[in-house]
């Protein structure tokens, strides 16, 4: 479990200095390394966390700054 958690942390850190495409490859590689070694639900939960991190890091800042508030009519 310690090696899995360490690999997860390293993968997440590496994603911060990658393009979105390379970060997605890191996520796939993380899954492939651990498939069959730890329970599927554990891998999936961590992969979802990595994907969320990827989406958050690579979100379009302009879309957030200039998005119009939802009108409440």
Quote the domain boundaries for residue 47.
Answer: 2-65
Q: Is residue 34 part of a domain?
A: yes
Q: Is residue 31 part of a domain?
A: yes
Q: Is residue 19 part of a domain?
A: yes
d(CA 19, CA 9): 18
Q: What is the pLDDT of residue 55?
A: 84
Is residue 72 within 8 A of residue 34, CB to CB? The reply is no
Q: Is residue 72 part of a domain?
A: no
Count Cα neighbours of 19 within 13 Å in the Cβ-side half-sphere.
Answer: 2
Q: Is residue 57 part of a domain?
A: yes
Q: Is residue 73 part of a domain?
A: no
Give the pLDDT confidence of 19-55 residue by residue, as tens digits: 889 999 999 999 999 999 999 999 999 999 999 988 8
The residue that leads in pLDDT, 11 or 72, is: 11
**pTM score, whole prediction:** 0.75
């Amino acid at each position: 479990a310690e090696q899995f958690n360490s690999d997860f942390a390293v993968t997440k850190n590496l994603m911060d200095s990658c393009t979105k495409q390379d970060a997605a490859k890191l996520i796939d590689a993380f899954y492939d390394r651990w498939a069959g070694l730890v329970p599927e639900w554990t891998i999936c939960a961590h992969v979802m966390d990595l994907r969320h991190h990827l989406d958050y890091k690579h979100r379009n800042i302009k879309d957030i700054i200039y998005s119009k508030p939802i009108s409440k009519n």
